């Protein structure tokens, strides 16, 4: 079965299980979803309502996005896991706040040996006076503390949260085997997937390793022309809707 809700795709839902995909950016709401793969809390709430009582398979290939949206999604998945099994697979990248969602399962996430976990300091923009800029820095430190609280619950034995904080401060990319040195995760053999990661990493200037860049470039080159055309049409339709909305508000 394949069904579609606004902003979210549900695949392979059965009487007992459902598959959930994070293959784009994590955004705050529908308005911020610039491609079909982007996810936001309200869409996940609707999905979980339809998947009540079912076990979940969660697949991630996302560069991240909104911290608070990601935290909300993490908490919703954790609540779902209080009554059901939630298994998370990192297919390509769990970066930034998507790395937090990766730990929302009822068991350790599975990360392919050619997939990546990326952790870094929270990032934001602001325009204001000196006091406002200092407050922004303090707020970002508090947000980082919240992210660390999640990571701390999933550390390997003998790994300290101070070690992980050093990795965050340095913006660290880890493949599945490297991530398993710090976190309680399961590694698996390399897999190949074709998926959109979104443009979040480009916006924040994240320093993706060359191995990841090469893999994403190869995926783009292998996409069928028809698939690209369908994606372009879908993007244009969404942009037309948003232009109409903006035009209506300006009148």
Active site residues: 96, 120
Q: Which of 221, 183, 5 is nearest to 105 (CA)?
A: 183
Dig out the tokens for 122 from the structure. Answer: 């929270």
**Which residues are registered as beta bridge partners of 60?**
22, 90
- Rounded to whole angstroms, how far apart are CA atoms 40 and 24? 10
- Rounded to whole angstroms, how far apart are CA atoms 251 and 248? 6
Residue 90 in 3-state DSSP? strand
- Rounded to whole angstroms, how far apart are CA atoms 70 and 26? 6
Where is 154: in which H helix or E strand? none
């Amino acid at each position: 079965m394949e069904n579609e809700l606004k902003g979210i795709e549900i695949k392979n839902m059965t009487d007992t299980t459902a598959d959930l995909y994070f293959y784009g950016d994590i955004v705050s709401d529908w308005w911020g979803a610039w491609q079909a793969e982007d996810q936001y809390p309200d869409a996940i709430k609707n999905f979980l309502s339809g998947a009540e009582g079912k076990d979940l398979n969660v697949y991630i290939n996302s560069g991240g996005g909104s911290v608070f949206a990601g935290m909300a999604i993490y908490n919703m998945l954790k609540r779902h896991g209080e009554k059901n099994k939630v298994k998370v697979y990192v297919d390509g990248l769990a970066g930034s706040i998507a790395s937090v969602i990766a730990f929302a399962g009822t068991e350790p996430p599975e990360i392919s040996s050619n997939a990546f976990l990326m952790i870094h300091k929270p990032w934001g923009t602001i325009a204001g006076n000196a006091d406002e800029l200092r407050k922004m820095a303090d707020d970002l430190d508090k947000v980082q503390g919240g992210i660390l609280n999640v990571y701390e619950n999933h550390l390997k034995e003998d790994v300290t949260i101070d070690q992980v904080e050093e990795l965050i401060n340095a913006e660290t990319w880890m493949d599945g085997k490297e991530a398993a040195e710090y976190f309680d995760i399961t590694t698996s053999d390399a897999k190949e997937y074709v998926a959109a990661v979104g443009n979040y990493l480009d916006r924040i200037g994240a320093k993706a390793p060359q191995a990841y860049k090469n893999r994403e470039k190869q995926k783009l080159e292998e996409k069928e022309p028809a698939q690209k055309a369908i994606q372009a049409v879908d993007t244009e339709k969404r942009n037309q809707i948003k232009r109409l909305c903006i035009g209506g508000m300006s009148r």
